[in-house]
Structure 1
Amino acid sequence: MKYFYNFPELPFIDHSVITIGMFDGVHLGHAKVLTECVKIAKLKGIASIVISFSNHPSSYFNPKHDSKNSLLSPDIEKIEWIEKLGIDYLFMIPFDHYIAHLPAESFIEDILLTKFGISDLVLGYDNHFGFQRKGSVDFVNEHYSSKIQAYSIEVAKLDEEIISSSTIKEYVIQGNISKANTMLGRAYSLQGKVIHGNHKGRELGFPTANIELNDTDKLIPGLGVYISTLKVNNQLVSGLTNIGKRPTLTQDAYISIETHLFDFQEDIYGKEVELYLVDKIREEKKFNSLQELILQISSDVQFAKSQLAKIHITS
């Protein structure tokens, strides 16, 4: 897959199937749309194209919007997951004044038709585009049916609940990572680098890998203790992760991400890693003593090992 951060100045391609959206998280609902886009393109022998955004539209409409810790999938992750679904070209354009005020007619005529030679448009069940969200499947089929065939993809649900980025975000924030993972179709992960901490975990007998996130826009799950696996040096290592402020040990407001790896002794400081969260097992709490904390961590480790023995992690 080739990806770009702007539209080409000249016509880019003769014929294509296109879908449009933010696609934050590239969850199972998004996968239905993207898979259909690829399917039609392959049947017709033409290119599949995704038009997405390098910033969330809410950051334009709400100047006070803080993007920090707000995305399920920052750019590098979104590129990875869209590519895995077989898309040929991805355009991640800035959602700016031009795009926000571009009429649907101009978007279709000046971009989709002129630059990309669109023949088919695939959209999610509630997806719209253009100024004041005028563009839709019905709008395209009503006004451009001689040039474009537009399709609306049926909503994806889990236990009668619509799968959406906003719903998954709420589950991640709550710490209901197992539900979020089911809607994503994979384990929610955090990418970053292992850095030095204060080595308190080592002093307690449970050394940890402290992870500094690569992208500050990445949504951090709710505070607590999680069963996890860490991908490092192309291998998966089982572990137990604490996301929180370590109230028993410090008074810091800083949220740390620390993973105790099972049966692993390698020096991985400075290594790029990816942390997959499997399930939350308890809330973070302040213990009355270090001994009480040690006993709880020992119990957590045994429980995590028993649970990890039953499952397969999808990365």
Structure 2
Amino acid sequence: MKFFYNFPEVSFIDQSVITIGMFDGVHLGHAKVLNECVKIAEKKRISSIVISFSNHPSSYFNPNLESKNSLLSPDREKIQWIESIGIDYLFMIPFDHYIAHLPAENFIEDILLAKFGISDLVLGYDNRFGFQRKGSVDFVNAHYSEQIHAYSIDVAKLDGEIISSSIIKEYLDQGNMTKTNSMLGRNYSLQGKIVHGNHQGRQLGFPTANIELENSDKLIPGFGVYISYLKVDGTSIFGVTNIGIRPTVTQDTHTSIETHLLDFQEDIYGKEVELFILDKIRDEKKFNSLPELIAQISADVQYAKSQLTKIHIAS
């Protein structure tokens, strides 16, 4: 797959199947749309194109919105997952004044037709484009049916609930990894580097690997203790991860992500890793004493070990 951060100056390709959207998380609902694009493109032997955005549209309409820890899949991850589905070209354009105020007619005529030679448009069930969200499957079929075949993909559901990025974010904030991972179709992960912490975990008898996130826009699960596994140098190691502010041992309000790796003693400081969050054990809480905290950590570790035979490692 080839990807770009701007539209081409001139005509790019002769014929294509196109979908448009933010695709944050590239979840199972998004996969239905993207797979349909690939299917049509392969059948017609033409190119499949995704037009997405390098910033969330909400950040344009609300400049004061805090973008930190707001995305299920920052750029690098989104590119990775869209490519894995088989899309030929991905355009990650800035959602700016030009795009926000571009009429649907101009979007279709000046970009989709003139630059990409669109023959088919595939959109999610609730997706729109163009100024005031005028562009839709019905709009395209009513005004451009001689040039473009537009399709709407039915909603994807899990246990009767619509799969959407906003719903997944709510579950992630609750620490409900069963719902989060099921709707994504993969285990949610955090990418970053192992850095030195204050070594308090080691002093308590449970040394931890502290992760500094690669991208500050990445959404972090809600505070709590989780069963997890860490991928480093191609090896997967189970662990118990605490996400939070460690209220028993510090007054710091900085959110930390630290993992006690089970039966693993190697030095991995400075390593690039990926941490997969599998299941929540409990909420983070402040304990009355260090012995009480140590006893609880020990119980968390024993519980995690008891669950390992039930867990399948899959990214």
Instruction: Name the residue aligned to 2:180.
Output: 180
Is 2:234 the counterpart of 1:234? yes
Instruction: Name the residue aligned to 2:190.
Output: 190
Q: Percent identity?
A: 79
Q: Deviations over 1:46-65 (max 9, x none)?
A: 11100000000000011211
**Unmatched segments (≥5 aa) in structure 2:** none
Q: TM-score, normalised by structure 2?
A: 0.99
- The one-letter code sitting in structure 2 at the alignment partner of 1:287 is F
Distance in 1 of aligned mates of 2:94 and 2:160: 34
* Aligned-pair CA distance for 1:220: 1.0
- The one-letter code sitting in structure 1 at the alignment partner of 2:260 is H
Is 2:201 the counterpart of 1:201? yes
**Unmatched segments (≥5 aa) in structure 1:** none
- The one-letter code sitting in structure 2 at the alignment partner of 1:126 is D
Instruction: Name the residue aligned to 1:259.
Output: 259
Q: Deviations over 1:119-142 (max 9, x none)?
A: 100000000000000000011111
Root-mean-square deviation (Å): 0.7
Distance in 2 of aligned mates of 1:185 and 1:103: 35
Distance in 2 of aligned mates of 1:97 and 1:286: 47
SS of residue in 2 equivalent to 1:120: strand
SS of residue in 1 equivalent to 2:216: coil
Deviating 4+ runs (over 6 angstroms): none
Instruction: Name the residue aligned to 2:282.
Output: 282
Distance in 2 of aligned mates of 1:126 and 1:314: 30
- The one-letter code sitting in structure 2 at the alignment partner of 1:54 is S
Distance in 2 of aligned mates of 1:278 and 1:36: 29
Distance in 1 of aligned mates of 2:2 and 2:235: 28
SS of residue in 2 equivalent to 1:309: helix
Distance in 2 of aligned mates of 1:49 and 1:123: 12
Instruction: Name the residue aligned to 1:272.
Output: 272
Q: TM-score, normalised by structure 1?
A: 0.99
Instruction: Name the residue aligned to 1:33.
Output: 33
* Aligned-pair CA distance for 1:116: 0.5
Residues 5-154 of structure 1 correspond to what in structure 2 (within 5 A)?
A: 5-154=5-154
- The one-letter code sitting in structure 2 at the alignment partner of 1:252 is D
Distance in 2 of aligned mates of 1:298 and 1:33: 45
Residues 213-252 of structure 1 correspond to what in structure 2 (within 5 A)?
A: 213-252=213-252
- The one-letter code sitting in structure 1 at the alignment partner of 2:281 is I
Instruction: Name the residue aligned to 1:157.
Output: 157
Instruction: Name the residue aligned to 2:314.
Output: 314
- The one-letter code sitting in structure 2 at the alignment partner of 1:204 is L
